[in-house]
Amino acid sequence: MKKLLLAAVLAVSSLSFAAPPPAGAPPPKWGERGDNSERKAEMAKKIHMLLVVGIADALSLNEAEALKMSDKLKGYEEKRRPVRETLGESLRVLKAAADGDTSALAQVDQAVQKLFDGRQQMAALDKEMFAGLSKDLSPQKRAQLAVFLAKFHAEARGWKGGGKGRHHRD
């Protein structure tokens, strides 16, 4: 299982070596990487794989159990996707307003409210996901799952922030 985890990590890290945008293409806005629906879909698949392999390793699941866990996760990931997109859009509006974009200034209060609402929705979905994934697990396995998910999400925040955790200090 450790070899699978290593392979998954290497697969995700290979995205950083993807081809650059075509010459003359406008630079992406903050929080975007251009029109990259294919890249987003590929990244979602790789994150799903990392999550499944990590859970399988943390819980010592066999292949059949890991596949069952993968199927369960897909449903929760689909529920989280629109909330994640709303959060991203709210952050883009707030960043534009913070940078002085006058067209975004009128949307600040609405974007802040959507941001807080989205975070509450995401927390509720996280609870629902944990309950669904851990339903048939022993207390020890539920604890292992909770620890893994907390570490995974903390590391994911570090990936988005350039490799350092949100509150990293040198």
Quote the tokens at residue 98. 């913070």
- Output the pTM of the full model: 0.67
pLDDT in tens, 62-101: 999 999 999 999 999 999 999 999 999 999 999 999 999 9
> How would you label 32-70 residue by residue, b for 16+ Cβ within 10 Å and e otherwise?
eeeeeeeeeeeeeebbebbbbbbbbbbbebeeeebeebb
pLDDT digits (tens, 9 = 90+) for 96-138: 999 999 999 999 999 999 999 999 999 999 999 999 999 999 9
Q: Which domains does the chain have, with CATH numbers?
A: 2-14+40-160 (1.20.120)
38-65 tens-digit pLDDT: 888 888 888 899 999 999 999 999 999 9
